[in-house]
Amino acid sequence: MTNGVGYVAVAGQVVVVAAGGPLLAGWMRQVRAKMEGRVGAGVLQPWRDVRKLLRKEPITPVGTGPAFRVAPALVVATVAVAAALVPLLSTDTPVSGRADLILVVALIALGTLALALAGLDSGTAFGGMGASREMTVAALVEPTILLSVFALSIPAGSTNLPAIVSGAVHDPARLASPAGLLATAALAVAVLAETGRIPVDNPSTHLELTMIHEAMVLEYAGPDLALVELGAQMRLTLLLGLLASLFAPWGIATSASWAALALALALFTLKVAVLGAVLAAAEVFWAKLRLFRVPELLAGSFLLALLAVIVSYFLSGES
């Protein structure tokens, strides 16, 4: 590239995900509070919580090893790298050629694996239980994400995410096809499971019979807990942004232009805020599934993703 727009776009994506993650979490809590008739703590409350935790003394349980200590930083780092690769604001960046679907999913899975190992490393019953449940969910979620996006990659002829998004921008009709609709439904369920939202998990519960993510991080405190919470909020922002980029790609910059990048930033903020508000509103009316029903839901989403791949293959063959 002849100018720095691409580098600014990459840095902007990372900054937006890192700084916007807590804001998105606060926005969703505020929407849910308003619908439940409560005042709410405000959109900035997650940032205040992170600041408070960062000021506390770090505490490491006796007997834990490197897996427990490295996991919080690794979770944040993997999401930050994935945010640089996923075309949230622009498809024309210096790292566009390396933004492969499999690499992005592997980075997300690496963060999940790090937390699961940390839960086991803590040596507690809750940690082991949460790690077991998390890996059970991940075993169905990661293939669903791969297949649902792979269904969109067949018309594009590449698993490169910027190429998929760029093709969808220039040919939006493919998103309204049967394959696009099936892939949308499958990826939406996978995002709910990957981010630990209702009906798969409840991020605000500490009941041992229902919690998945929270069970793995009960032993964290202080700055480590701040990183874990920040990583979870960044992951939610990244996956909602990925969902918006794949199925509502309008406004994403496809050229090195400052004006296009500014418009993409504004539209990305709007799309993620709308998706977050819809998700928060839906959680008011949804009930959490029983733990043994969660694999059925995830298996159904995997089947939808598989059907999307099959339909996309036949439609591309006919064209």
Domain ranges of the chain: 5-318
pLDDT at residue number 209:
66
Strand, helix or coil for residue 253 = strand
Segment 289-304 mean pLDDT? 92
Query: What 3-state DSSP class applies to 41?
Result: coil
Q: What is the mean pLDDT of the chain?
A: 91
Cα separation, 72 vs 284, whole angstroms = 30
pLDDT of residue 288: 86
User: How does DSSP assign 42-88, residue by residue?
Assistant: -TTHHHHHHHHHHTSPP---TT--HHHHHHHHHHHHHHHHHHHHS-S
**Quick one: pLDDT at residue 206?**
67
| Confidence label for 290 from pLDDT (cuts 50, 70 and 90) | confident
Q: What's the pLDDT at 291?
A: 84
pLDDT of residue 287: 85
Average of per-residue pLDDT across 84-95: 94
Is pLDDT above 70 for 319?
A: no
| Confidence check: pLDDT of 46 > 70 | yes
Does residue 13 register a pLDDT over 90?
yes
pLDDT reading at 273 higher than 70: yes
CA gap 138, 109 in Å, rounded: 8
With 90 as the cut, is the pLDDT of residue 78 above it?
yes
Q: Look up residue 221 and give its two tokens.
A: 């405190």
Which tokens go with 236?
């939610």
Task: Tell me what percent of the residues of the chain surpass a pLDDT of 70.
Answer: 97
> Does residue 61 register a pLDDT over 80?
yes
Residue 74 has pLDDT above 90, yes or no: yes
How far is residue 240's CA from residue 79's CA, in Å, rounded to a whole number?
13
Residue among 136, 142, 149 at smallest CA distance from 101: 149
| The token pair that represents 56 in the structure block | 């506390």
C-alpha–C-alpha distance, residues 34 and 97, integer Å: 43
Q: Given this model, what pLDDT does residue 156 score?
A: 87
Higher pLDDT, 202 or 139: 139
How much is the pTM?
Answer: 0.94
Measured distance CA(59)–CA(8) in Å, rounded: 37
